[in-house]
Amino acid sequence: MYNNTKQRGSNRAPNYSSGGRSTGPSRGGFSSNRSSFSRGGGSRSGGGRNKRKSSFERIDVSRFISKSTVVEKEEIYIPTHTFADFKIDAKLKLAIANKNYVYPSPIQDKSIVHALEGRDILGIADTGTGKTAAFLIPIINKIINNRDETAIIIAPTRELAIQIETEFNEFVRGMKIFGVVCVGGAPIQNQIRNLRRECNVVIGTPGRLLDLVKRGEINLSSTRSIVLDEADRMLDMGFIDDITFLLEKTPTDRQGFFFSATLPKPIEKLIERFATDPVKVMVKTRETSKNVEQDVIRINNGANKIDVLCQLLDKENEFKKVLIFSEMKHSVEKLSVELIKRGYKAGSIHGDKRHNDRQRTLLRFRNDEINIMVATDVAARGLDIPEVTHVINYEIPQTYDTYIHRIGRTGRASSKGVALTFVG
């Protein structure tokens, strides 16, 4: 643990050490006559409500402290298939090969073969396990075989929805299969225009999708496939009623893909209601990555918190690409502005920023045009941002589950990462 005893404004960066116990152009149209997403009646009201928890979970600070471990030998999963083995269209196999995919990940290996048979899938899997391809490949194969097939993919955040769209477009390039992203914060009229063209797949966030359904711009009565990605996150964000409403609009014989890192009771009940004898695939990794060094930064009385942060960031050889989390939108923006004033290459993403601004910041962060991104928990799940060296919890997260997802942005694959949490 690090106790801040240095004078305010010191140019010397603080040291920190661990202690305590370890813890484990669009075609297709949602308004086209041939599309099952054709227009219908409906009110214009709707939209999800982003309900944050009003109280903090009491978290033992020692749970933020854990030495990373070096594992000499790690059990390697041996897949039972290659992508070439799956009974899918040759064009899709070529698209997969073009992405240099040869062997499926465990979630893909265990679920795709059943999904191709039309079975519902319940996947308990973390971010970064390959679940996006696990549902995209079977859905795209269905569309290749029948151009009247439609699917709706529901994701908790705009960023995750757009990330899914990117992977979808890579798979279907040249196939004349198109999708539409419908997310809040982007102009709804543009999305309505795209829906009225011919397309097969809609990817969106619950609130915007609900709005479009109630406006009559999306009709789910003939949707053949539905995906809930990160269902537990949507529960945390207060979208359980919205996704229930959307599922109720789909036919009983549609195929469902339900993915969640955890299975809280409301999500379990939702899946029991809407899934039919699902194939259960569990690919859970450890609670926190063995590659992530976790520690706390103690802020003593009278110390200036942002000065302590800057002392850390000045360690240029260490803090190369940093994701900083704060709880509130206004505090994220304030911190980002202050860091920029102090000469750091920083940016921010939060719910009050325009959609295009958020995407621009993410792109700049990915491309190393900035090396510090300050964010609310909108960035804690789903985003795959490579080479993040440090995650800093500028404020203690509301729950330990949120903490796990935050620090999962670093130490990905075989890389090492550091997670630091500021505590008073």
Average pLDDT over residues 208-232: 95
Confidence at residue 77, expressed as pLDDT on a 0 to 100 scale: 77
Q: 283 near 79, Cβ under 8 Å?
A: no
Confidence at residue 285, expressed as pLDDT on a 0 to 100 scale: 58
Q: For residue 11, what pLDDT band results from cuts at 50, 70 and 90?
A: very low
Q: Are 138 and 273 in a shared domain?
A: yes
Q: Are 295 and 249 in a shared domain?
A: no
Report the number of secondary-structure helices (H) and strands (E) in the chain.
Answer: 13, 14
Average pLDDT over residues 268-282: 95
Q: Across the chain, what does the average pLDDT equal?
A: 83
Give the length of the chain.
Answer: 424
Residue 9 has pLDDT above 70, yes or no: no
The pLDDT tens digits of the residues spanning 312-357 come to: 999 867 899 999 999 889 999 999 999 999 999 999 998 888 878 8
Q: Are 253 and 388 in a shared domain?
A: no
The pLDDT tens digits of the residues spanning 156-170 come to: 988 899 999 999 999
CA–chain centroid gap for 246, Å, is 20
What does each C-alpha distance from 380 to 181, 354, 377, 385, 402 come to in angstroms? Answer: 21, 19, 5, 11, 7
Which comes out higher in pLDDT, residue 344 or 69? 344
The pLDDT tens digits of the residues spanning 379-414 come to: 655 677 888 999 999 998 888 878 888 888 888 766
Q: Are 215 and 342 in a shared domain?
A: no
The residue from 236, 259, 283 where one domain ends is: 283
Domain total for the chain? Answer: 2
Angle between helices 240-248 and 206-214 (to 10 degrees): 40
CB burial string 107-138: b at 16+ within 10 A, e below: bbbbbbbebeeebbbbbbbbbebbbbbbbbbb
Average pLDDT over residues 211-229: 95
Q: 212 near 182, Cβ under 8 Å?
A: yes
Residue 286 has pLDDT above 90, yes or no: no
Confidence at residue 136, expressed as pLDDT on a 0 to 100 scale: 98
Q: Are 341 and 370 in a shared domain?
A: yes
Confidence at residue 63, expressed as pLDDT on a 0 to 100 scale: 77
The pLDDT tens digits of the residues spanning 72-123 come to: 344 567 889 999 999 999 999 999 999 999 999 999 999 999 999 999 999 9
Q: Is residue 91, in this structure, part of any structural domain at all?
A: yes
Q: Are 135 and 163 in a shared domain?
A: yes
Comparing CA positions, the residue from 323, 327, 345 lying closest to residue 411 is: 323
What does each C-alpha distance from 218 to 31, 153, 169, 203 come to in angstroms? Answer: 7, 13, 21, 12
Q: For residue 35, what pLDDT band results from cuts at 50, 70 and 90?
A: very low
Average pLDDT over residues 351-373: 89
Which comes out higher in pLDDT, residue 262 or 367? 367
Confidence at residue 59, expressed as pLDDT on a 0 to 100 scale: 76
- Residue at token pair 């297709």: 28
Comparing CA positions, the residue from 353, 336, 354 lying closest to residue 345 is: 336
Confidence at residue 379, expressed as pLDDT on a 0 to 100 scale: 62
Q: Which domain holds residue 250?
A: 61-283
Euclidean distance between CA atoms 143 and 151, whole angstroms: 9
Picking from 22-36, 57-71, 167-181, which range would have the lowest pLDDT averaged per residue? Answer: 22-36
DSSP bridge pairs for 123: 259, 281
Q: Are 394 and 268 in a shared domain?
A: no
Question: Where do runs of H (alpha helix) occur along 226-304?
Answer: 231-236, 240-248, 265-274
The residue from 283, 312, 336 where one domain ends is: 283
Which comes out higher in pLDDT, residue 125 or 289? 125
Q: Are 211 and 223 in a shared domain?
A: yes
Q: Is residue 31, in this structure, part of any structural domain at all?
A: no
Q: Is residue 225, in this structure, part of any structural domain at all?
A: yes
Q: Is residue 414, in this structure, part of any structural domain at all?
A: yes
Q: Are 209 and 344 in a shared domain?
A: no
Q: Are 150 and 276 in a shared domain?
A: yes
Q: Are 331 and 226 in a shared domain?
A: no
Q: Is residue 33, in this structure, part of any structural domain at all?
A: no
Confidence at residue 401, expressed as pLDDT on a 0 to 100 scale: 77
Q: For residue 68, what pLDDT band results from cuts at 50, 70 and 90?
A: low
Count CA atoms closer than 13 A to 274's CA, side-chain side: 26
Euclidean distance between CA atoms 368 and 294, whole angstroms: 24
Residue 4 has pLDDT above 80, yes or no: no
- Which phi and psi (to 5°) does residue 407 adopt? -75, -15
CATH number of the domain at 98, please: 3.40.50.300
The residue from 261, 283, 305 where one domain ends is: 283
Q: Is residue 42, in this structure, part of any structural domain at all?
A: no
Picking from 60-64, 160-164, 253-257, 276-280, which range would have the lowest pLDDT averaged per residue? Answer: 60-64
Q: For residue 61, what pLDDT band results from cuts at 50, 70 and 90?
A: confident
Euclidean distance between CA atoms 139 and 144, whole angstroms: 9
Q: Is residue 36, in this structure, part of any structural domain at all?
A: no
Q: Are 265 and 319 in a shared domain?
A: no
Q: Is residue 192, in this structure, part of any structural domain at all?
A: yes
- Of all residues in the chain, the percent with pLDDT exceeding 90 is 58
Helix (H, G, I), strand (E, B) or coil at 322: strand
The pLDDT tens digits of the residues spanning 166-196 come to: 999 999 999 999 999 999 888 999 999 999 9
Confidence at residue 37, expressed as pLDDT on a 0 to 100 scale: 60
Euclidean distance between CA atoms 423 and 10, whole angstroms: 20
Euclidean distance between CA atoms 43 and 45, whole angstroms: 6
**DSSP state at residue 66:** B
Residue 288 has pLDDT above 50, yes or no: yes
Helix (H, G, I), strand (E, B) or coil at 162: helix
